Amino acid sequence: MNGTKPKKVYFYGTCLVDLFFPDAGMAGIQLLRRAGVEVVFPDGQTCCGQPAFNCGYWEEARDVARTQVALFPEDLPVILPSGSCAGMMKVHYPELFHGQPDEAKVRAFSARVYELTQFLVEVLDVQLEDLGEPVKVTWHSSCHAVRDLGLKGEPQALIGQLANVELAPLTREYECCGFGGTFSVRHPEISGAMITDKIADATATGASLVLSTDGGCLMNVNGALEAKSSKLKVQHIAEFLWERTRAR
């Protein structure tokens, strides 16, 4: 990964960003372009297949995953604005395709997958200049970004580059927000207790914004904050970084 930075990358939007956080997707692409990288967004993107995989419907997950892998034939990095979907494609695709005729092809694809902040820090080594007003934010670590994909503080490092941003940590930064995909509707009471605690933690930081890498967590946190008519807002890390650093 040292030395030459790639000139061209693929961008995989993910279904949640596509449908609920398109601004985050746009921002991610802008951040990559500004770092001097050409971004290709192949047509035909739907979903990584994680919901079906996690529920045991592996044939259905594979059917969908196959159509997605086929969209990225060139040997280019594939960048996702989501730790969970990146974890699915990087870590769980090889399990899902274990013993399948196209396993080798899928493995080669998986090796090219990155979460956005991981790519910005590890590969592109971007330096950000903060142009925004002073603000206090808090950070929610996505479980899959940290535990599946193995992020090691890349998003926090990027936030740390912003001079006018104060990062107030959560008391339980690494505790799950309770989203868990279908878990949130199969076990709404437990999931509800988890998100209620998470937003109480976030509120207690005194921040005005909750940031995360993942659309699932953000949708969960945002929904619970809105239900409580909280002034606290959520934003995807890509959108936050882009908003604060773009020339106006």
Partner 1 sequence: MHAEKEIHFRDAAAKALLDPQLRANFRRAMDGLITKRKAQFPDPRDLQDLRDLSTAIRSRSLLCLPELLEQLEASCAKNGIKVHWAETCEQANQLILGLLQAKGAKTLVKGKSMVSEEMHLNAFLESKGIEALESDLGEYIIQLDGETPSHIIMPAIHKNKDQIARQFSQKIKDAKYTEDVDELTAMARKVLRQKFLDADAGLSGVNFAVAETGTLCLVENEGNGRMSTHVPPLHIAVMGLEKVVARLEDVAPLYAILTRSATGQAVSTYFNLITGPRGADEKDGPQEVHLVILDNGRSRIYADPQLRATLRCIRCGACMNHCPVYTRVGGHAYEAIYPGPIGKILTPQMEGVGVRHDLIHGSSLCGACGEVCPVEIPIPEILVRLRREATHDDVGSTVAGRGTGRTATEDWAWRLWAGVLKRPALYRVATWFATRFGRALPANAPLIRNWTQSRTKPVPARRSLTERLRAEGVSHE
Q: Which residues within the stretch 61-80 sit at the binding site for partner 1 (CB under 8 A)?
A: 61, 63-64, 66-67
Q: Which residues within the stretch 89-148 sit at the binding site for partner 1 (CB under 8 A)?
A: 95, 143-144, 147-148
**Cβ(211)–Cβ(237) below 8 Å:** yes
Residue 151 found at the interface with partner 1 (CB under 8 A) = no
Q: What are the tokens at 59? A: 């044939």
Phi-psi region of 173 (alpha: psi -120 to 50; beta: other; left: phi over 0): alpha
Query: Which one of the spans 51-59, 104-112, 121-129, 152-160 is the region binding partner 1 (CB under 8 A)?
Result: 51-59
Q: Which residues within the stretch 153-192 sit at the binding site for partner 1 (CB under 8 A)?
A: 174-176, 178-192
Interface residue with partner 1, options 35, 60, 103, 168 (CB under 8 A): 60
Query: Which one of the spans 14-22, 113-121, 152-160, 203-211 is the region binding partner 1 (CB under 8 A)?
Result: 14-22
Interface residue with partner 1, options 82, 212, 220, 245 (CB under 8 A): 220
Single-letter amino acid, residue 81? P
At its nearest, how many Å lie between partner 1 and the CB of residue 15?
Answer: 8
Interface residue with partner 1, options 44, 99, 101, 134 (CB under 8 A): 44
